[in-house]
Amino acid sequence: MTEPVSAVAAALPGRAAIRQRWSDAVFLHWRVDPTQVAPWLPRGTRPDTTPDGATWVGLIPFRLERTAFPPLPVVPWLGTFLETNVRLYAVDDAGRRSVVFRSLDAAHLLPVLAARIAIGLPYRWARMRGERIGSTYRYASERLEGASRPRTRIAVRRTDERVDGDATADFLTARWAMHVGRGTQTTYWRNEHEPWPLLRGELLELDDELLADAGFPGLADRAPDSVLVSPGVVTRFAGPTLVRAESGGGGVREGAVST
């Protein structure tokens, strides 16, 4: 049985292994057919869907701040950077919902390398800019490694319309775990934070190559089906547990991960 969608996180199973703040988050999401997503998911997971039968692809820029590994203090300088991720939505054979990251572009090289090696997340080093002027959020990124070096440019205006009790918004943002695939092995990482304070957003500009690079060509050519903005939350992650797949699970292409 699949766990219910809840805007309130259950307590972590044990102490937090990672703590960080996610600030000035912009959530752009597109409805897609689950068959487009399934090949990119790690073993033991499948696409999670909304009641209309669709799954979703997200493009999410934000500022990651004040990273710490309790009981150690906040990591100076390297623990704060801009990030833009492409993420998918999955559920495993035990019914646990999660996000799966197709890519995470970040502006500090050392955290990028550390997250790749230690966790298996598909982080990529990028040159990034981000600012919030009044109610407008602007992000830009250019990847600094690999052959394609995709770019993205995003501008969103925050409205005054609060988002409370919206089932689709909860499905997209109230995600309390990530699945991370490395080879044929999948790990599950629980997280918790206060409910996202969400506002509707208005898309002002989108010029993106990250979605196509992640396996979704043409998606950025149409307007997103959901645009949300949040000032941010403080989140905590528990350590990983191994997923034991009862079935073949997703298509598991190398690099597929979940959050």
Cα–Cα distance between 87 and 172 in angstroms, integer?
Answer: 10
What are the two backbone dihedrals, phi and then psi, of residue 166, each rounded to the nearest 5 degrees?
-95, 120
Does residue 256 fall inside a structural domain? no
Does residue 5 fall inside a structural domain? no
Pick 78 or 162 by higher pLDDT: 162
Tell me the β-bridge partners of 81.
64
In the prediction, which pLDDT does 23 show?
97
Does residue 4 fall inside a structural domain? no
Give residue-wise pLDDT tens across range 183-204. 889 999 999 999 999 999 999 9
Asked whether the predicted pLDDT for residue 247 surpasses 70, the reply is no
For the chain, the C-alpha Rg in angstroms (whole number) is 17
Does residue 80 fall inside a structural domain? yes
DSSP-derived letter for residue 40 is G
Does residue 8 fall inside a structural domain? no
The boundaries of the domain holding residue 102 are 19-242
Query: What domain count does the chain have?
Result: 1
Tell me the β-bridge partners of 91.
46, 97
In the prediction, which pLDDT does 246 show?
64
Give residue-wise pLDDT tens across range 158-181. 999 999 999 999 999 999 999 999
Q: Which of 92, 94, 52, 127 is nearest to 252 (CA)?
A: 92
Does residue 38 fall inside a structural domain? yes
Confidence of residue 253 (pLDDT cuts 50, 70, 90): very low
For residue 223, what are the contacts with CB-CB under 8 A and spacing of at least 6? 203, 206
Q: Which of 99, 248, 111, 119 is nearest to 187 (CA)?
A: 119
Structure-token match 């997923």, residue found: 243
Neighbours of 237 (CB within 10 A): 21
Does residue 171 fall inside a structural domain? yes
What are the two backbone dihedrals, phi and then psi, of residue 169, each rounded to the nearest 5 degrees?
-60, -40
User: What is the average pLDDT score of the chain?
Assistant: 92
Does residue 168 fall inside a structural domain? yes
Cα–Cα distance between 101 and 179 in angstroms, integer?
Answer: 8
Distance between start and end Cα atoms, the chain: 20
Find the CATH number of the domain harbouring 224: 2.40.400.10
Reading the block at residue 153, the tokens are: 């440019």
Structure-token match 């989108």, residue found: 206
